[in-house]
Amino acid sequence: MAERYLSEARSYLDKGDSIQASKKMYKVVEECIKVLAEYYKAPELEEVRKRGRWLTWLLGSTARTLAEKLNEPKIEHVWTVAYDIHAWGFHEAKYGIDKIRMDVQHVEWLLNFTRQAVKREEHV
């Protein structure tokens, strides 16, 4: 799912649509956080199951938990970037394409990190 969102984000970037690119980039990060939460059994999953869905604050909390648990502060950073572009690039439409394009590298990093983490877990 996250890979598809990244592909769609790139397409929107190429078209100069910062609003939709922001939305898709946020979705990449959201999906990665959810996958990592499952693989590493983040404690926030209990609250997600009680509520029957993910809430934004649970995603943020999970990103912080994962950053600490995996000793990788970039996870928290990428979440922060994603939330920023979601708010200001998508909802408020205040960021132009140049501001959104510079954040693709962060989103790509988290997707690659997630892929590698899943591969490692499958081989354990």
Q: Which tokens hold the place of 94?
A: 């205040």
Backbone angles phi, psi at 11, to 5 degrees: -60, -45
Domain residue limits at 31: 2-122
- The pTM score is 0.93
Tens of pLDDT, residue by residue over 61-118, are 999 999 999 999 999 999 999 999 999 999 999 999 999 999 999 999 999 999 999 8
The CATH number assigned to the domain holding 80 equals 1.20.120.330
Counted domains in the chain: 1
Q: How far is C-alpha 29 from the geometric centre of its chain's CA atoms?
A: 1
